[in-house]
Amino acid sequence: MENSKRMSRVDSEIQKSLAKIISKFDDAELSSALISIMKVETFADFSMSKIYVSVFGDEAKKNHIVAKLNDNKKSIRYDLAHSLKLRIVPDLMFVVDNMEEKTARLNKLFDQIEKELPKAQETDEIED
């Protein structure tokens, strides 16, 4: 239990630090893009942190920004090492966070079910 609390705190600190680092990064595209660090998952052995990134824009822009982050992960990790008080700084892997699309798709399905549900209930009442 204590280990998961510690990992949660580490993930939170990595998330905060990365947000600052990326916003001040020496790359015009990265510093001007609307990037949010949605979630960080660090492996228990600190070998890797998976960074879920949300980028405002179309799918091509999202993929381009995430690729650019992965291309610059060495210098981002270097800056992260200087901002955190960790003995081991994990390697970074940036991925596109598709939670917004998944949520929108689920909401659309729920709306569709809601529209069809009254029709199904009406036919059950007529048959009774």
The mean pLDDT value for 24-44 works out to 85
The mean pLDDT value for 10-21 works out to 93
The mean pLDDT value for 15-39 works out to 86
Total residues found in the chain within this entry: 128
- Give the number of other Cβ atoms within 10 Å of residue 62's Cβ: 19
Q: H or E segment at 25?
A: none
The mean pLDDT value for 89-103 works out to 85
pLDDT digits (tens, 9 = 90+) for 41-93: 999 999 999 999 988 888 888 899 999 999 999 999 999 999 998 888 999 99
Residues ≥6 apart with Cβ < 8 Å to 1: none
Q: How confident is the model at residue 101 (pLDDT cuts 50, 70, 90)?
A: confident
pTM of the model: 0.74
pLDDT digits (tens, 9 = 90+) for 102-121: 777 788 888 888 888 766 56
